[in-house]
Amino acid sequence: MIEVGLASVTLRHKSAADVAAIAADAGLGVVEWGGDIHVPAGDLAAAAQARKLCDDNGLVVGTYGSYHKPGDSDPAEFPALVQTAVELGARRIRVWAGTRASADAAPHYRAEVTSALRRCADVAGEQGIPVTVEYHVESLTDDIDSALAMYVEAGSTDLVAHWQPRQSPIVGQCLAEVRALLPALASVHAFSWGPDGYTERLPLAAREDLWRPVVELLTTKDTVEILLEFVEDDDVDAVVRDATTLRQLTAVS
């Protein structure tokens, strides 16, 4: 089953109440709350408010999107993230796999990141919350082979996977990545970019050639979230438009 939703960082300029209302009005069912603006780490009042906003709008809380970077961030900060995620009612906590490109990561650095990632998974797992890793450039998940090796090296059953396309994505390469991650895949960020990448945002429908086969692959999962992110101009109308596209894609797959 595919659940469609919105990453709150898409609307950083809006209040948490606005984010929840916009997601509900757009026919989405899940909100992934970001730890940078809407639900800062340790702000239990903000976490409780976001959870209530979801309840009031008929939404589900998805991932708590932290900016914790195992291997680089202070490990002492992580318990507060877990406490915040618990208060939020989050399904999982997202972290980053360090801050160095996999090609530049020396063996000792990879070992530090994977060891710290394992500790994060253990701490969150004690509260029944799995950890997922941002699929992102300049980290150990910037390459699918590195990402898969990282999960093996971390060796935790409390780790799940995340995926999003790269700049100027090649369809065949994207599908290969999704297939490789599929057994552990919990969430996907959906957006369409032009050749200039992050600064050239397109309607989601502009890359239907990518998203239709990705969605078809994801239908083989029992449950996975697809969350809108990086809409044109961070605009509410673009959220509504892309939500319509996403709902259409998932309805016919």
The tens digit of pLDDT for each residue in 178-187 reads 999 999 999 9
Instruction: Return the pLDDT at 199.
Output: 84
Bridging pattern class, strands 131-133 and 30-34:
unpaired
The stretch 78-89 carries a mean pLDDT of 98
Q: What is the pLDDT of residues 238-248, one digit of tens each?
A: 999 999 999 99
SS3 15: coil
* Percentage of residues in the chain having pLDDT higher than 90: 94
- At 38, list the tokens: 């809407």
The stretch 63-86 carries a mean pLDDT of 97
- Using CB atoms within 10 Å of the CB of residue 168, give its burial: 0 to 12 exposed, 13 to 18 middle, 19+ buried: exposed
Q: How far apart are CA 194 and CA 198, in angstroms?
A: 8
The stretch 38-61 carries a mean pLDDT of 98
Q: What is the pLDDT of residues 185-211, one digit of tens each?
A: 999 999 998 888 788 899 999 999 999
For the whole model, what pTM was predicted? 0.95
Q: Which of 59, 63, 53 is nearest to 33 (CA)?
A: 63
Instruction: Return the pLDDT at 167.
Output: 78
For 191, which DSSP code?
A: -
Helices (H), 9-106: 16-25, 44-56, 78-88
Helices first, then strands: H and E counts in the chain:
8, 10
End-to-end CA distance of the chain: give it in Å, rounded.
Answer: 10
Instruction: Return the pLDDT at 252.
Output: 60
Cα–Cα distances (Å) from 220 to 41, 160, 182, 228, 250, in that order, read 34, 16, 9, 20, 12
pLDDT bucket at 168, cuts 50 / 70 / 90: confident
Q: Which of 165, 155, 174, 161 is nearest to 198 (CA)?
A: 165
- The helix (run of H) or strand (run of E) holding residue 56 is helix 44-56
Question: What is the span of the domain harbouring residue 55?
Answer: 2-251
Domain count, the chain: 1
Q: What is the pLDDT of residues 90-137, one digit of tens each?
A: 999 999 999 999 999 999 999 999 999 999 999 999 999 999 999 999
- What rounded mean pLDDT belongs to the chain? 96
Q: Which of 105, 119, 10 is nearest to 65 (CA)?
A: 10
Within 10 A of 145 (CB to CB), how many other CB atoms are there? 9
Beta bridge partners of 131: 93, 159
Q: How far apart are CA 35 and CA 8, in angstroms?
A: 9
- The helix (run of H) or strand (run of E) holding residue 153 is helix 144-154
Q: Which of 131, 122, 55, 121 is nearest to 93 (CA)?
A: 131
Q: Are the beta carbons of 95 and 40 closer than 8 angstroms?
A: no
* CATH for 132: 3.20.20.150
